[in-house]
A and B are shown apart, each in its own frame.
Chain A
Amino acid sequence: MGSQALACRSGMERGGIAVQHYLDVIVAILPFLWAGFVQTFLVSLVAIAAGSVLGFLIGVVRSQRVPLLHQLFGLYIHVLRGTPFLVQLYIFYFVLPNTGIEALQWSSETAAFVSLSVYTSSYVAEIVMAAIDTVPKGQWEAATALGFKRLPILALVVLPQALKLTVPPMSGVYVNIIKNTAILSVIGISELTRQGEISILRFPSDVLFIYGVIALVYFVYCYPVLRFTRWAEHKVGGTRVVNLD
């Protein structure tokens, strides 16, 4: 009985030491994780903003079915959606500079921003076009019959109705983009995952713990966006889900 109590106490002590150890690790890596999170936040924000603007323009142009432009942007979208982001990133960072063209000698930051924005735009463009196509043809016809020109129809009648429909699928894309920033670590962007890997070099025995903390930070960032998606779906009503794959 005495030996059992002893074993129990030493177990508690071991537990206490472990908690203390993990706290020490967190305190040690926190500044780096914070710096990584800030970088992740900025890259994802820029990619989401630039990608949305670019994708919106492409989606609107594509919805108008202008003969050559429609196919050209279609190719752009399908190439981007049909290849892994990692490969696209390598092409932007390692292959384009090899062309010898001065304007394509990008820093890793520029390559990261541009590739992720372009990647984002391909999804946004599809969502925007699908939403515009979903607005009933009768809305176009009524406005046309009243004497509206094409641009006012788009701006005043179709887009206000279509943009509402893009909200739920768009937030799904945004979560995808936030998670994809992790891939940027391969070209040396010191975002969250990269900072985690550096921390692991300092505390090699705590791999699982550190990756766990990193995953938690991503989750804390993404979850509100996902919740927003659910809320927006409810708010906007039955919107078809755009497949991300």
Chain B
Amino acid sequence: MPAGNGTPRFVKRTPASDRKAIIVAEHVRKTYRSSDGRSHLALAGVTAQIGRGEVLVVFGPSGSGKSTFLRTLNALEKIDSGRIVVDGVSISDPGADLNRLRSEVGMVFQLFNLFQHRTALDNVILPQIVVRRRPRAEALRRARELLEKVGISDRAGHYPSQLSGGQQQRVAIARALAMDPKVMLFDEPTSALDPETVTGILDLMKDLAAEGMTMAVVTHEMGFAREIADRMLFMDGGLIVEEGSPQQIFQTPRQERTKEFLRQIL
């Protein structure tokens, strides 16, 4: 098994239906309105669940709504209708404490989005102090620990502009983990990386999965999906077209659209 740092996946995962879901999305609809009055239906009624400890891979052509769907799960995008429940709290309710929710849901972006005016170490410390209200010494200890874990401790004092894409993404993952999230959302985390650094980030994510982290990953990396996904969602036109285990999706896809897309990218 080519997993990063040789960590084996000893946890045999139970099917999602048998676990209590950490995220439930029901009939989620989302329309983008541009300033010239045109509107685009990004999500046309999406219903999906993520179980605790599950690794869910979402894939599909660009414009299919997969990133939008991921971004509705921590309320980065407001939804028009439907319901999203995270860890028992309905976040689509008007009174929901979104900041609290978001601190429980880690997110990793395609373009890393590190704070440009802070060093790698400070990027991991700042949210702990501001959001988690940890004492500085504790935040510092945790930050060093996490930078070590993601393999970038030798660059702790560097600013994001002095780091490569892969290094920045490692820091971004450490920053998200510093909040001790219950679930991690990855929005095309390797799409902006050089091919040779992609593997390192994917290995890091495999390690996280092996530790039992709940993850929802939007990605085009089908080899990665085949290896670590418990379940896959294929999205197109703002809808979930097909859902199943990697084995089923890759070997016996039921929908014509899924077959066609897989033919194109594999």
A residues with a Cβ closer than 8 A to B are 136, 138-139, 141-149, 152, 156-157, 160-161, 164
Contacts and interface: CB of A to CB of B under 8 A. Distances in A.
A141 B76 contact: yes
A145 B74 contact: yes
B131 A146 contact: yes
23 contacts: A138-B109, A139-B116, A141-B109, A142-B113, A142-B115, A142-B172, A144-B102, A145-B74, A145-B105, A146-B102, A146-B127, A146-B131, A146-B176, A147-B101, A147-B102, A147-B179, A148-B127, A148-B130, A148-B131, A152-B130, A160-B117, A161-B117, A164-B117
Interface string B18-29: 000000000000
B249 interface: no
A142 B109 contact: yes
A149 B99 contact: yes
Nearest to B131: A147
Interface residues of B, number: 26
B152 interface: no
Interface of A is mostly: helix
Nearest to B107: A145
B195 to A, nearest CB: 23
B130 A156 contact: yes
Contacts of A147: 99-104, 127, 131, 179
Contacts of A139: 113, 115-116
B79 interface: no
A160 B101 CA distance: 26
A156 B126 contact: yes
Contacts of A138: 109, 111, 113
Contacts of B104: 147
Most buried by A among B102, B105, B115: B115
Interface string B175-190: 1100100000000000
Most buried by A among B74, B130, B172: B130
Contacts of A160: 117
A17 B175 CA distance: 77
Contacts of B115: 139, 142-143, 157
B109 to A, nearest CB: 6
A124 B245 CA distance: 57
Nearest to A147: B103
Contacts of B130: 148, 152, 156
B116 A144 contact: no
List 4 A-B pairs, minimum CB-CB distance, nearest first: A147-B103, A142-B113, A138-B113, A145-B107
Contacts of A144: 76, 102
B114 interface: yes
B103 A146 contact: yes
A138 B107 CA distance: 12
Contacts of B76: 141, 144-145
Interface string B88-129: 000000000001111111110101011111000000001100
Contacts of A161: 116-117
A141 B172 CA distance: 13
Contacts of B127: 143, 146-148
